[in-house]
Structure 1
Amino acid sequence: MASRSLLLALLATPAHAQDTPVAVELVLALDASASVDKQEFALQVQGLAAAFRDPDVQRAVEDLEPLGAAVAVVQWGGPGETQVVLPFTELHGGRDSKAFGFRMSLIHRFMWASATSIATGISDSAALIESNAFDGQRKVIDVAGDGEDNGAADLESARQAARAMGIIVNGLPIMADSPDLADYYKRRIIIGPDSFVEPARDFEDFARAIRAKLLKELRPLAS
């Protein structure tokens, strides 16, 4: 798959001579598995776009100055199916945040993934963090999904590898079809210091949940 080739190429790229320091590197990983229908995926996109246009989120980005944040968005599904839909973008204040939200509102779905491989979403997101041109004081993967991992990749190995890289994995379980999904995310998905779960009751609740989550993730290191 082209996306997999891209990730492998990034990993093979020599280390940057001097990465740009930022307060937070954040990958927002959206579920594009077959269990997420067209309307449900649109609610993820719309909720994330609205969150970056939210005044409180914009103030959170401003509070990260002078370093700011670097944020990317991927769609994940089965092995080899991860797509980078918004590459790492440096945010310095409300105007950048609003512009990022606008770009987010324009993205489309790249695939109906063959599996719900959360392990793949974590591994590919970690690869993006390791290979980009930024150096975050805090490195975070934000996994959103509506089901348990059912892919062939080793989930626990993916989590532990991210932790070894100094990456925090947080979770946004969408509990539309699985009321126990938040517990699963707590036990099997999140990892790292101060990692947390921010559940959404259903896809309609995604906008509220992602806003609340971003306000926790886009904070200065000492806070």
Structure 2
Amino acid sequence: MAPPFVRRALLAAPALLAAPARAQSQTQLDVLLVLAMDASGSIAEEEFRLQREGYAEAITHPAVLAAIASGRRGAIGLAALEWGTPGGSQVVVDWMRVGGIASAQDFAEALLGAPRTPQSWNAIGDAIHHASHMLREGPFTGERMVMDISGDAGDMRSHRPAPIARDIVVRRGMVVNALAIAPGGLTRSGENLAAIYERDVIGGPGAFVLQADSRMDLTRSLRAKLIREIS
């Protein structure tokens, strides 16, 4: 007959094994999504406000909520960061579980209420690098890990250039999508922004670029983008 301490260990083993499984089931979500928003010096205050409001409206839209509900777990992990300054991207809304209108509204309110972070230039590569750490080290796990880069210009002065950062995170199983915000699709220097993002930013299975012709068009584009990413 086994000693008492062995019998106790054997009796406790199923509970010990079940505990991590229960914890995993609580934190496993359909998608982990980092919204990486351009807050660089090229974004005027009114444009910045429209951008924040566009994200908030898109996240709480019934079509986006329906896409979330259609997943196996009916919930996603959502976080937001602002980027611009080389090495200076900052989290503005940390990870939240979004699985319905109430949690979506909580995220939207947190986003609208967060102060603008001081940013300059357009260090997209550094934003990709930061977002990858958020996806790997956050409180949730997900069947897919996605980062959503929105901006009005290409990569500038990153410590790690965007194509290199993109290739690294794709090898880690992440997806990088992008939203090009440019009137007529062109940057101030006349370059096609969607083409730049296609070449330098996006990567991973099913990666894509959408275009918003203006900040006013942002909500529609974001809504379409979120539905595609979540579904």
Q: Does 1:143 align with 2:149?
A: yes
| Larger Rg computed on CA atoms | 2
- Residue 62 of structure 1 contacts residue 94 of structure 1 at CA under 8 Å; is this kept in 2? no
Picking from 99, 121, 124, the partner of 2:127 is: 121
Picking from 210, 213, 218, the partner of 1:206 is: 218
TM-score (structure 1 length as normaliser): 0.86
Picking from 180, 187, 198, the partner of 1:186 is: 198
Letter matched to residue 143 of structure 1: I
Structure 1 vs Structure 2: percent identity of aligned residues?
A: 33
Corresponding position of 2:5: none
Q: CA deviation at 1:64?
A: 2.0
- The count of aligned residue pairs is 202
Structure 1 outlier segments of 4+, above 3 Å: none
Corresponding position of 2:28: 21
Partner secondary structure for residue 209 of structure 2: coil
- Residue 68 of structure 2 contacts residue 74 of structure 2 at CA under 8 Å; is this kept in 1? no
- Residue 81 of structure 2 contacts residue 90 of structure 2 at CA under 8 Å; is this kept in 1? yes
Q: Distance in 2 between matches of 1:66 and 1:150?
A: 39
Partner secondary structure for residue 176 of structure 2: strand
- Residue 24 of structure 1 contacts residue 140 of structure 1 at CA under 8 Å; is this kept in 2? yes
Corresponding position of 2:168: 161
TM-score (structure 2 length as normaliser): 0.83
Q: Cα 1:43–1:106, aligned 2, differ >3 Å: closer, same or farther?
A: same
Root mean square deviation of aligned Cα: 1.5
Q: Which has the larger share of helix? A: 2
Q: CA deviation at 1:115?
A: 1.6
